[in-house]
Amino acid sequence: MRSRLAGGVLATILFTAFLPGVAHAAPRASEPVYDYAKAVRETVWVDIGHDGDGDGKPDRVAADIVRPSEATSRVPVIMDASPYYSCCGRGNESELKSYDSAGKPVKFPLFYDNYFVPRGYAVVLVDLAGTNRSAGCADVGGASDVDSARKVVDWLNGRATGYSAKTGGSAVTAGWSTGNVGMIGKSYDGTIANGVAATGVAGLKTIVPISAISSWYDYYRSDGATFGFNPDGLAQTVEARNSGQNCAAQNQVLKQGATADGDYGPLWADRDYVTHAGNVRASVLLSHGVNDLNVKTIHFGQWWSGLNVEKKIWLSQTGHVDPFDYRRDGWVDLLHRWFDHYLLGVDNGVQNGPQASVERQPDQWVDQSAYPAANEVATTLRPHTGGSLGTAAASGTASFTDNPNLGEDTWVTNPGSAALTYSTGTLKTDLQVSGTSAVTVTATPSTASARLSALLVDLGPATIRNFAGSGEGIKTGTTENCWGSSTAGDDACYRIASADVKKVNYTILSRGWADLANYASLSQERPLTPGTAYTMTFDLASTDHIVPKGHALALIIGGTDGSFIRGPAQPGRVTLDLARTSASVPLAGVVPAAATHPALDGGAFVPSQGRADLR
């Protein structure tokens, strides 16, 4: 059943703000005045200056374009550059591109074209090199991937060459474009938006990265520890339906560069956008689920911290989910105002007001003046013998025995000898964790190899989104609503999702992993000598979470978290020097006197498993 909302119905009032010679008041929003059914639909192949498939010809990427045919002036562009338009699909309904018998694009996945083209925008969907109809090979976040989109931005600004065909053809210019581009996308697509923004390319006015990677190292590795999957596998997945190209050499480069030892090397440095965040000129509207175990939340935290531009952030309780599927009305309204401001120049004030919007409970959102919270303080918490966690100095030692067969949920409910738990005790007031935490350990391994893992845990009952479920916190219904205009080949209507909730007795709010052999350098692991103490600091995932009054905040430290990372060659016993072990946690609130943590009552909990699919 379909219900049509006002957001998807064409208005009859003309938006005259950008028509020459017409007197008007300052506009507040673009209006849907153009006929979507009459829109120009075309493909331009843009030369990106690479030869990834080694055929001796510069690679051209396919940019599928839909734009209003009646526009009397140039229009700005909303771009989504993706490797998934033929292999895996986009959005909750896994939409693919489609074409007519002449190769003209018909289906543009997602609602961006249906909603924004009638409002005076062009939508450009780019096939990354080596995918769908583009030449070349995927290089998983490298120069070819980034240039697949950057060169299209250049073409839209008259600085690159486009053609009417994949090979041969005639030159095509973008005389219809203002040159103002906003990039948007979830997961891999949002990652490319980050990468393009990090080049500082002129004409890119804003990006909207949703659940996006900021450093590919941190997608496949964590402070020397490995998650067990590698970029060559992803490359082969997205290249699978692009026949006639030989990408074996490029895939071998990915395989060899992603070394099994977990070290940070040249391959990862070339795909680390955080190091170039200072180049970003575009504004940023960022969205991420704080329970995303696919693109883990360290990605948004480190990217956000490196940006020095106008920015806003949405943080949901979901996993790897687009805000269109958990807060649809508000998200479309925000996108509309955001693109109007940064691409059309509408003075609507969207850049003002609270910087962050955070989901505290399922479907319950609060605005926050800043992220991290304005009153957060990096607080050093120290584990004490007896299981307490507080700010006072500590002494003594504690040991655990690494068991790679166990994971984080067992550590919380029944750690045994595999992990160590330290707690603040019952809180008398709410305690907010807002930002990125780090753990420093001084550890003595009994063998020549060791892994480290740490968790921050909210001990207490709650109703949360079931982020470990199949929908990662949402349930998709059968009723649809519509966002823009439809044609026979491109439907603007999407199934409505609701919150999938679960009662739990604890919530893991942040986690991190490391290889102790990288204690001195992330770029080169060093042999460990059994019986020797090593000090190492590693980050935990970024978050914004309130541990409520009556709950406790716990720090759990163990070896191999089998839910996520690979174990060492020789798992053994690890002893911590508690005087030189601590966690730096960004807190708003008061940490009470340390006390042993409350026992769990054995109720339900959320099993957490690492995910290796990037969609």
pLDDT at position 593: 56
The CA distance from 548 to 458, in Å, is 8
Asked if pLDDT for residue 571 goes beyond 80, the answer is: yes
Residue 494: half-sphere exposure toward Cβ, Cα within 13 Å: 28
**Do residue 209 and residue 309 come from a single domain?**
yes
**Do residue 80 and residue 175 come from a single domain?**
yes
**Do residue 324 and residue 305 come from a single domain?**
yes
**Do residue 334 and residue 399 come from a single domain?**
no
Q: What percentage of the chain carries pLDDT values higher than 70?
A: 92
- Residue identified by tokens 């500082």 is 200
**Do residue 364 and residue 404 come from a single domain?**
no
Average pLDDT of the chain is 92
Contacts of 168 (CB under 8 A, 6+ apart): none
Q: What is the CATH number of the domain that holds 319?
A: 3.40.50.1820
Look at residue 596 and tell me if it is in a domain: no
Q: What are phi and psi of 210, to 5 degrees?
A: -115, 115
Q: Is 613 a catalytic residue?
A: no
Average pLDDT over residues 156-169: 97
Given 308, 333, 368, the domain boundary residue is 368
**Do residue 152 and residue 182 come from a single domain?**
yes
Cis ω on the peptide bond leading into residue 372 (within 30° of 0)? yes
Look at residue 390 and tell me if it is in a domain: yes
Q: Report which of residues 607 and 248 the model is more confident about.
A: 248
The CA distance from 55 to 219, in Å, is 31
Asked if pLDDT for residue 306 goes beyond 60, the answer is: yes
Look at residue 435 and tell me if it is in a domain: yes
3-state helix, strand, coil in the chain (%, to 5): 20, 35, 50
- Our count of domains for the chain comes to 2
**Do residue 238 and residue 387 come from a single domain?**
no
pLDDT at position 567: 97
Look at residue 88 and tell me if it is in a domain: yes
User: Rg of the Cα trace of the chain?
Assistant: 25
- Residue identified by tokens 């531009």 is 309
Q: Is 320 a catalytic residue?
A: yes
pLDDT at position 615: 65
Model pLDDT for residues 36-61, shown as the tens digit of each residue: 999 999 999 999 999 999 999 999 99
Instruction: Label residue 591 by pLDDT band (50, 70, 90).
Output: confident
Q: Lowest mean pLDDT: which of 239-248, 387-396, 440-449, 507-516?
A: 239-248
Look at residue 486 and tell me if it is in a domain: yes
**Do residue 228 and residue 131 come from a single domain?**
yes
Instruction: Label residue 213 by pLDDT band (50, 70, 90).
Output: very high
DSSP string, 449-462: --EEEEEEEEEEEE
**Do residue 518 and residue 562 come from a single domain?**
yes
Which of 299, 320, 341, 551 is catalytic? The answer is 320
Contacts of 19 (CB under 8 A, 6+ apart): 72, 73
Q: Report which of residues 189 and 28 the model is more confident about.
A: 189
Is 552 in contact with 426 (CB distance < 8 Å)? yes
**Do residue 494 and residue 515 come from a single domain?**
yes
DSSP 350: T
Given 343, 368, 393, the domain boundary residue is 368
Domain that residue 355 falls in: 37-368
Instruction: Label residue 22 by pLDDT band (50, 70, 90).
Output: very low
Look at residue 3 and tell me if it is in a domain: no
Which of 30, 82, 86, 187 is catalytic? The answer is 187
* Whole-model pTM over 0.75: yes
Instruction: Label residue 98 by pLDDT band (50, 70, 90).
Output: very high
Look at residue 17 and tell me if it is in a domain: no
Asked if pLDDT for residue 27 goes beyond 90, the answer is: no
**Do residue 90 and residue 163 come from a single domain?**
yes
Which of 59, 127, 218, 292 is catalytic? The answer is 292
Model pLDDT for residues 3-17, shown as the tens digit of each residue: 333 333 333 223 333
Instruction: Label residue 590 by pLDDT band (50, 70, 90).
Output: confident
Instruction: Label residue 25 by pLDDT band (50, 70, 90).
Output: very low
The 3-class SS string of 379-418 reads EEEEECCCCEEECCCCCCEEEEECCCCCCHHHHHHCCCCC
Could you tell me which of 559, 213, 224, 268 has the C-alpha nearest to residue 419? Answer: 559
Average pLDDT over residues 567-587: 97
**Do residue 341 and residue 321 come from a single domain?**
yes
Q: Report which of residues 355 and 608 the model is more confident about.
A: 355
Q: What is the CATH number of the domain that holds 446?
A: 2.60.120.260
Given 339, 368, 397, the domain boundary residue is 368
Look at residue 23 and tell me if it is in a domain: no
The CA distance from 44 to 60, in Å, is 9
